[in-house]
Structure 1
Amino acid sequence: MPATSQTIQLPNSESAIALAGSNEQNLNFLSSYTGITLILRGQDLLLQGQEKAVARCAKAIRILEPLWSLGKPLHEPDIMTAFQALDTGRTEEYSELQKNVLARTKKGEVIRAKTFKQKQYIKAIQKHDITFGIGPAGTGKTFLAAVLAVKALLSDECQRIILTRPAVEAGEKLGFLPGDLQEKVNPFLRPLYDALYEFIDAEKIPDLMERGKIEVAPLAYMRGRTLSNAFVIVDEAQNTTPAQLKMVLTRLGFGSKMVVTGDITQSDLPCNQDSGLIVSRRILRNVKEVAFCELTQADVVRHPLVQKIVAAYERYEK
């Protein structure tokens, strides 16, 4: 196959930096993924290699233009989704994905779905009363659910947010830990707080909690309750027993949504104990009002190394 070269002229230095990435990691990724050479000279990006590979890479870069042309940093999931859109004839759908802003953080940063499966996950939460988000670390399962929960609270679509997860490390027996209930469970619920802090000032959260607008508690404290007019997030559900997850699922009241997230490859339960997340997926798979969204390593939006770690573990465990 003949070799060729093509030059893409970038409008300014900001767009060049956004496309290239830190230490040109995006260009290196594009090179390893397509097998071509990419050289950035000022605002000119030179592509060299086999003709079809160069043309495919150039098209993917053009699909990403609405992001890098505005100086918005690109990440590997953006690039991979661009190639997926190109290879499956979904470029128009990807263009819409780039435009759809889910929310903005306190700092004005745009939150949007970065992959098609994240978009599917968001739509499922918006459409269904119970949604399961299953996938590896860094795929945005908890964060996107928290974004939607905060949006619902601030727009009066729900009266409160309830965040819960099993405190497996303490065996659900928290009495020996120092402090009151909130201080006891905080270490286990920190990831949920982190998502809230992106949208709500830290000093306002205690007031919201005092007024019952935000409730954070271990899973054991959900027993015997009816959770009405609430947006409920059940995090780390792979660490629930079947009985625990059944218990919390049946707490759902009128006017409520529940999002159950977890990674079935990272259970901290004893090896002889079934995971409630796996059992629920098997039992509820055909209940049409319940949505199951399964994200993969391609949806990891943390540090690029996280995606590689997830992939390595997946290969090892096969």
Structure 2
Amino acid sequence: MAFAGAKFTAARALPPIAPLTPTQGAYLAALRSSPQVIVVGPAGTGKTWIAATHAADLYRTRKIDRIVLSRPNVPCGRSLGFFPGSLNDKFAPWAAPVIEAIKERIGKAAFEIALKNGDIEMVPFEVMRGRSWKDAFVLLDEAQNTTPAEMKTFLTRVGENCLTVVDGDVSQCDLAAESGLRVVIDMIRTRNLPVPVIEFGREDIVRSGLCAMWVEAFEDMEAQTQPRA
């Protein structure tokens, strides 16, 4: 299938995603074998990039009809206020890492057409209730900033033939309340639910040596400042 006016076809020749660490390999294997995957770990490990690129590959080969992107709009630090424009315009800055990864895989023109046609949709939590999805790749990014109620809303929207990925870093929660991501991981483990949880560590950071250095430094500082039991 080709999109008119875009340099894009389902047969576009691209190399497969190559894992750079054993954990990335386990992540890719989980994406190919499970309808739901939870992935956690520090920045720079490829959590979001792999999910977005895998979604783009499924879409361009017509194995799914749609890509649905969501992310809690909780700012890291002080907020710049509201963004002008349409819903997509407002949400795009929050979803920028995912959007850029998809554009790299299918091309900018194809992305814009898919967005216009509704094949790629950005859905903030404010408009999620009452929705449902099928035949889609559904990605929740930065899930550590969801509340348990928001996580329940998200996970109960998923219909037939969906691949759902929930990613985040529980050490980077910007909420004053309990993280919905942590609650879901605890539920999976205590109830033995058939949902793989992929955990990246600092040894999996592939972004840069500087990124790894700072992640390690902050983790060590936070460990030292935590109150002793």
Q: Give, in whole Å, the separation in 2 of the partners of 1:109 and 1:126.
A: 17
Match of 1:15 in 2: none
The equivalent of 1:310 in structure 2 is: 215
Q: Distance in 2 between matches of 1:258 and 1:289?
A: 13
Aligned to 1:115: 21
Q: What displacement does 1:109 show?
A: 6.8
Q: More strand per residue: 1 or 2?
A: 1
User: CA distance change for structure 1 residues 221 and 287 in 2, over 3 Å: closer, same or farther?
Assistant: farther
- Paired with 1:193 and 1:115, the residues of 2 have a C-alpha distance of 24
Q: Displacement, 1:198?
A: 1.4
Shift of 1:219: 2.7
Q: How does 1:208-247 map to 2 (within 5 A)?
A: 208-247=114-153
Cα deviation, residue 132, structure 1: 0.4
Report how far residue 220 of structure 1 moved.
Answer: 2.7
Does residue 179 of structure 2 align to residue 275 of structure 1? yes
**SS of corresponding position for 2:75:** helix
1:301 aligned onto 2:203? no
Matches within 5 A, 1:30-49: none
Q: How does 1:184-203 map to 2 (within 5 A)?
A: 184-203=90-109
User: Letter of the aligned partner of 2:219 in structure 1?
Assistant: E
Aligned amino acid, residue 85 of structure 2? G
Relative to the length of structure 2, the TM-score reads 0.85
More helix by share: 1
Change (3 A) 1:296 1:107: farther
- Larger RCO of the pair (alpha carbons < 8 Å, separation 6+): 2
Matched, 1:255 2:155: no
- Matched with 2:47 is 141
Distance 2:33 2:140 in 1: 18
Q: Could you tell me which amino acid in structure 2 is paired with residue 292 of structure 1?
A: V
Q: Distance in 1 between matches of 2:147 and 2:33?
A: 27
Over aligned residue pairs, what C-alpha RMSD do you find? Answer: 1.9
Residues 241 and 275 in structure 1, CA contact (< 8 A), matched pair in contact too: yes
Query: Which letter does structure 2 place at the counterpart of 1:312?
Result: A
Distance 2:93 2:220 in 1: 31
How far off its partner does 1:281 sit? 0.6
State the distance in 1 between where 2:104 and 2:30 align.
Answer: 23
Which secondary structure state, in structure 2, belongs to the residue aligned with residue 117 of structure 1?
Answer: helix
- 2:188 equivalent among 264, 284, 294: 284
Larger Rg: 1
User: Aligned pairs, how many?
Assistant: 207
CA distance in 1, matches of 2:32, 2:179: 26
Partner amino acid for 1:113?
P
Output the CA distance in 2 between the equivalents of 1:252 and 1:287.
20
Tell whether the 8 Å contact from 2:39 to 2:47 is kept in structure 1 after alignment.
Answer: yes
2:3 aligned partner? none
Unaligned runs of 5+ in 2: 1-11, 224-229
Residue 179 of structure 1 and its aligned partner are, at CA, apart by: 1.3
In 2, the alpha carbon distance for the partners of 1:276 and 1:242 equals 4
Q: Deviations over 1:44-73 (max 9, x none)?
A: xxxxxxxxxxxxxxxxxxxxxxxxxxxxxx
Q: TM-score, normalised on structure 1?
A: 0.62
**Identical residues among aligned pairs (%):** 39
Query: In structure 1, how many angstroms separate the alpha carbons of the residues matched to 2:132 and 2:93?
Result: 26
How far apart in 2 are the matches of 1:280 and 1:289?
12
Cα 1:127–1:267 change in 2 (3 A) is same
Q: Could you tell me how far apart the structure 1 residues matched to 2:153 and 2:93 are?
A: 23
Are the equivalent residues in 2 in contact too, given 1:132–1:259 (CA < 8 A)?
yes
How far apart in 1 are the matches of 2:127 and 2:21?
Answer: 35
